[in-house]
């Protein structure tokens, strides 16, 4: 795991649930637009089509806030079976809006560390 990926994971909101339903049923609820519309309306999404999908395991959607400043984020639903025939649903929600990344102006000097000369 890279430092950037570790930093991103620290900033993401991660929720994990143990559900009694089988993984196939949970997958259908998070991936099928008809079922998803009942709990995640399309007006909450920036795009109704998934950003990425790993069939039966993970699906990601781009979301946009409905109120200013209209920040964008990615929410990922990860589905995996548990030992009892149920499902572990992991939801990872992270802000991806470019306006949140700090923009540092270029340095006016070379910004190198100070070195002392030996006499």
pLDDT tens column, 71-102: 888 999 999 999 999 999 999 999 887 776 66
Instruction: Report the distance separating Cα 81 and Cα 89, nearest Å.
Output: 9
For residue 40 the two structure tokens come to 């995640």
Instruction: Report the distance separating Cα 90 and Cα 80, nearest Å.
Output: 8
Q: What's the pLDDT at 64?
A: 87
Residues whose CB falls within 8 Å of the CB of residue 24, separated by 6 or more in sequence, listed in order: 56
Low-confidence residues of the chain, pLDDT below 50? 1-8
Q: What's the pLDDT at 18?
A: 96
Phi, psi of 16 (to 5 degrees): -135, 135
| Domains of the chain listed by start with CATH number | 3-98 (3.30.530.20)
Looking at the DSSP assignment, which residues form a beta bridge with residue 51? Answer: none
Share of the chain above pLDDT 90, in %: 50
Q: What's the pLDDT at 52?
A: 94
Q: What's the pLDDT at 1?
A: 45
């Amino acid at each position: 795991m890279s430092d950037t990926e570790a930093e991103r994971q620290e900033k993401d909101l991660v929720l994990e649930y143990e559900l009694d339903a089988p993984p196939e049923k949970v997958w259908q609820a998070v991936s099928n637009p008809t079922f998803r519309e009942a709990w995640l309306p399309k007006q909450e999404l920036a795009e109704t089509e998934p950003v990425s999908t790993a069939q039966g395991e993970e699906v990601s959607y781009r979301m946009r806030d409905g109120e200013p400043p209209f920040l964008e984020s990615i929410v990922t639903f990860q589905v995996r079976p548990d030992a009892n025939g149920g499902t572990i649903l992991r939801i990872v929600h992270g802000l991806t809006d470019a306006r949140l990344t700090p923009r540092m102006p270029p340095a006016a000097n070379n910004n190198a560390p100070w070195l002392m000369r030996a006499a």
